[in-house]
Structure 1
Amino acid sequence: MSKSSEGRIVWNHSTHLDGLIPILEKLVVYEGIRTITPAVLSRSRSHIPHLKLKVSVPIRGGFKLIARQGKSVQEVFIITDLTQAELESAIADIL
């Protein structure tokens, strides 16, 4: 993957999962990623000890990701030209 500094992170929420923002800042520099928007933060029953980022479903122009840590879950929307496999590879490189 080549890197470029064209993408941006949309700051529309004041709360985020611990450690999520540094990962998104590394992800946004990948070429093909235009916009990253952290969205709804909620609670789950299960406990995930370490931050996990998973591609959930395709959306128009990109993908919805699910970030999980502890009992918290946060949706993250990524507008990108990357395929799902390329995005998963970029996430794996960062994590």
Structure 2
Amino acid sequence: MAQSPKGRLVWNHSTHIAGLIAVLERLTEVEGISTITPAVIGPARSKHPALQLKVSVPIRGGFKVIARKGKSVQEVFVLTTLSKEALEKAIDQAMMQ
């Protein structure tokens, strides 16, 4: 029985929101997710004590996800065949592990 191929996590930047990479690595295990790319990190207007990931808008081949923690916000691009609802469920499960 062949194992489904694992998605890949692209490291474009040297800085990431604390705890984000661990969640994204768990997401690469989800069938239907091919590539996850953390992108621009910047300051947020409001403070979020815990890491939050929210599916934002569809992009070609997937979705843009917004990660927030503390006073930082970071864009994450997820290339996937999953629906928005299925991706949200996968993110919730990855956050709980």
TM range (shorter): over 0.9
Helix, strand or coil for the counterpart of 1:17?
A: coil
Identity %: 62
- Could you tell me which runs of 5 or more consecutive residues in structure 1 were left unpaired when the two chains were aligned: none
Tell me which residue corresponds to 1:43. 43
1:4–1:30: 8 Å Cα contact kept in structure 2?
A: no
Alignment map for 1:24-63 (pairs within 5 Å): 24-63=24-63
Q: How many residues align?
A: 93
Alignment of 1:10-89 (within 5 A): 10-89=10-89
Distance 1:91 1:23 in 2: 8
The alpha-carbon deviation at position 84 of structure 1 amounts to 0.3
Instruction: Provide the secondary structure at the position in 2 that maps to 1:21.
Output: helix
CA drift of 1:6 comes to: 2.2
Alignment RMSD: 1.2
Moved over 4 A (4+): none
- 1:75 and 1:93 map into 2 onto residues whose CA distance is 20
Q: Tell me if structure 2 keeps the 8 A contact 1:5–1:28.
A: no
